[in-house]
Chain A
């Protein structure tokens, strides 16, 4: 269950961005999880909801986007975007495939509430 330690890193990142932008609350965060990152989205969510208590992201919703794995089949030539770590061509069943992408684990976006006048580059 390394999702717990990953969430600690994620919360550290969020705290840093929130501080830099003088945010009072973070309301939503978007994380991209690669199919080959070794992170289980469901466990990440559970861990996030457990550890966000008492942080600036206490009321934040975690939105997870799945970064697909692109599998190119050397036998039938087809390319598939897969949402699970499988290496068998879904078209012809061949194992003669080449995988690329899907290994990222990235904080993409934060939505936060800043106090008027205190936010950097206020709008």
Chain B
């Protein structure tokens, strides 16, 4: 009997230790296995809005054409603009339509996977929602997590948003063609990124001048086992 009010209830304290995002993590693991079974490299692209994810994918699609077949899971939830841009390049794209979500999770990506012609693909890029906070907490089941930081955003971002930089294998510093016009110290950005994540790799790219594109493509190809 409840000792406080004599109501006939018993109080019970349950010690558990359950990861709140466990379901997502399990699904993410399944996604990764799913991609691997199809010998596909899955790459998750994260950044603030407008850092250049879609432009990078357009360039990447052009430069890999004839060599590797890519598909895209598009997390632009508001419009189909990014999807249209990539389809115009002949890239198979599946757009996630989950309304106003601020991030992609493993379940959304799983749905996307089933609408892509996986047998025909070598690489699947996941363009996450433009946001430096929320996507960091969700494993979507990619093999490679990439965070883009454009030089117009400021070199202090790794310190301000450490969690997303910690979750990434690679930091792409983008729009390097604009370096002459902004006060962005590559050295400082890299130092801060390495502080929050000592094992993070760094590549500088410009989708406009194609500077660094070869290094980026080689980075991916190396992980394809190609």
Contacts and interface: CB of A to CB of B under 8 A. Distances in A.
Interface of A: 1-2, 5-6, 9-10, 12-13, 17, 21, 23-24, 27, 31, 36-39, 85, 87, 95-99, 104-116, 119, 122-123
Interface residues of B, number: 37
B198 interface: yes
B14 A112 contact: yes
B168 interface: no
Contacts of B159: 87
B109 to A, nearest CB: 14
Contacts of A9: 20-21, 23-24
A38 B163 contact: yes
Interface string B1-19: 1100000111111111111
A105 B16 contact: no
B8 A2 contact: no
Contacts, number: 108
Contacts of B134: 1-2, 38
Given A108-B15, A109-B15, 6 more contacts: A2-B133, A23-B12, A38-B133, A87-B196, A106-B20, A112-B12
Contact of B16 (A1, A36, A85, A110): A110
Interface of B: 1-2, 8-21, 23-24, 101-103, 105, 133-134, 136-138, 159, 162-164, 166, 191-192, 195-196, 198
Contacts of A31: 20
Contacts of A99: 196
B132 to A, nearest CB: 10
B131 to A, nearest CB: 9
Given A6-B21, A9-B21, A123-B10, A98 B16 contact: no
A113 B13 contact: no
A113 B9 CA distance: 6
A107 B18 contact: yes
Contacts of B162: 36, 85, 87
Contacts of B163: 36-38, 85
Contacts of A37: 137, 163
Given A1-B102, A2-B138, A6-B137, A113 B12 contact: yes
